[in-house]
Amino acid sequence: MNIFGYLGLLLIFPGFLFTAFMGLMVGWVDRKVTARIQYRVGPPWYQNFFDIAKLFFIKETLIPAGVSRALFLGMPALGLAGATLVSTMVLVINASPKTGFIGDLIVIAYLLLIPPIAVMLGGFVSENSLASLGASREMKLMMSYELPFILAMTVPIIKCGYSIKLGEMISAQYVNGPVFASASGVIAFFVMMLCIQAKLGFVPFDMPEAETEIMAGPYIEYSGKALGIFKLQKAMLGFIIPVFMITLFFGGIKDDFSGFMKNIAEFAGILVIMIVIKNTNPRVRIDQAMGFFWKPVTAAAVIAVALAYFGK
């Protein structure tokens, strides 16, 4: 494949444009279901696209006085690049498992760290006290959920023959059945569900940008295109992280009709769990979130790893 083919994968399909479109549609489903739960009508399907277009083409991008222009505008671009690379790798490997490389799972785990780090650094370089407070909360939250997240990801590694190649994990589940069909897989799945709720900044772990407390946290000084990029990054992660979970626990995206329909049901199930958690829990304090992830969630992840080691 030549350079234009790789750019097409990265920027059009299955990379940036496709993932952005799907992410905005998933965001609409979230908003629509949330509205129905709250006895509201909710927005039309195109509302998220209008919101992003307004930020990109109508709203002005303001830069606070005295901040580094390169760092301030570079952080949204960095986060979007991380989300785009993750989506491209996960979807390309699902389409052709042999295209992966040894350790690609570790690379994906590292790339998933880039968006929250970009949000955190963006808040710090804003030189706003509320942005710095939100960035500090983002940093503490990330340090809390990353350990159980990695431990939960270790379970599919063990169950798939200690492989850290995503394509081999897909093939192993095709032969031996999905990781989710085991006790350790079920525990690890729900541990990861809680972790991605925090990674995506959803209630009850939305304390870094708590509007009623610190306005918008790390995003308070962002506007126009820069804010639009941050919102697009979050929407893309809202689509690709559930797909990543389907890959780890359900054997990836199937190429036959019945298998693909099962994938849609799996994606819908993950989305429903996220929306239910989001709409049935109040926001917790950062110290409560840290204690929650470091104690019961990490303990559950350790139990899952132990069960996987013993073949359960």
Does 1 map to a domain?
A: no
CB 89 within 8 A of CB 244: no
- Tokens standing for 53? 């277009």
249 close to 273: Cβ distance less than 8 angstroms = no
The tens digit of pLDDT for each residue in 187-211 reads 999 999 999 999 999 989 999 888 7
Closest CA to 62 of 234, 220, 232: 220
Q: What's the rounded Cα separation, in Å, for the pair 59 and 61? A: 7
Decide if 303 is inside a domain.
Answer: yes
Q: At 138, which amino acid appears?
A: E
115 within domain boundaries: yes
In a domain, 278, yes or no: yes
Please compute the mean of the pLDDT values over residues 222-228 and round it to a whole number: 93
The span from the CA of 37 to the CA of 43, in Å, is 14
- Quick check: helix, strand or coil at residue 38? coil
Q: Are 230 and 222 in contact (CB under 8 A)?
A: yes
Which residue range is the domain that position 270 belongs to? 7-309
Q: Is residue 2 one of the residues assigned to a domain?
A: no
% of the chain at pLDDT higher than 90: 73
Distance CA 63, CA 210 (A): 22
The Cα–Cα gap between 90 and 82 comes to 12
Q: How do residues 129-157 score in pLDDT, each as one tens digit?
A: 999 999 999 999 999 999 999 999 999 99
Taking residues 273-279, report their average pLDDT. Answer: 92
pLDDT, average across residues 166-175: 91
Cβ–Cβ < 8 Å for 297, 148: yes
Residue 134 lies inside a defined structural domain of this protein: yes
Q: Which structure tokens are listed for 312?
A: 């359960």
Q: Which contacts (CB < 8 Å, 24+ apart) does range 291-297 have?
A: 292/144, 293/144, 293/145, 293/147, 293/148, 293/194, 293/195, 293/198, 294/144, 294/147, 297/145, 297/148, 297/191, 297/194, 297/195
Cis peptide before 204 (omega within 30 of 0): yes
- The two structure tokens encoding residue 254: 């199937």
| Res 256: pLDDT | 87
User: What does the block give as tokens for 195?
Assistant: 């972790």
Tell me the percentage of the chain whose pLDDT exceeds 70.
Answer: 99
* Four-CA torsion 106, 156, 247, 256, nearest 10 degrees: 140
**Cβ–Cβ < 8 Å for 72, 125:** yes
> How far is the C-alpha of 140 from the C-alpha of 168, rounded, in Å?
34
In 3D space, the residue among 198, 214, 58 whose CA is nearest the CA of residue 126 turns out to be 214
The whole-number pLDDT of residue 2 equals 66
pLDDT tier, 215 (very low <50, low <70, confident <90, very high otherwise): confident
Tell me the pLDDT of the chain averaged across its residues: 92
Phi-psi region of 192 (alpha: psi -120 to 50; beta: other; left: phi over 0): alpha
Query: What is the 8-class DSSP label of residue 100?
Result: -
Identify the pLDDT of residue 1: 64
Quick check: is 286 in a domain? yes
In total, how many domains does the chain have?
1
**240: in domain:** yes
pLDDT over threshold 90, residue 19: yes
31-70 residue pLDDT tens = 999 999 888 988 999 999 999 999 999 999 989 888 989 9
The pLDDT of 239-268, averaged and rounded, is 93
d(CA 231, CA 235): 6
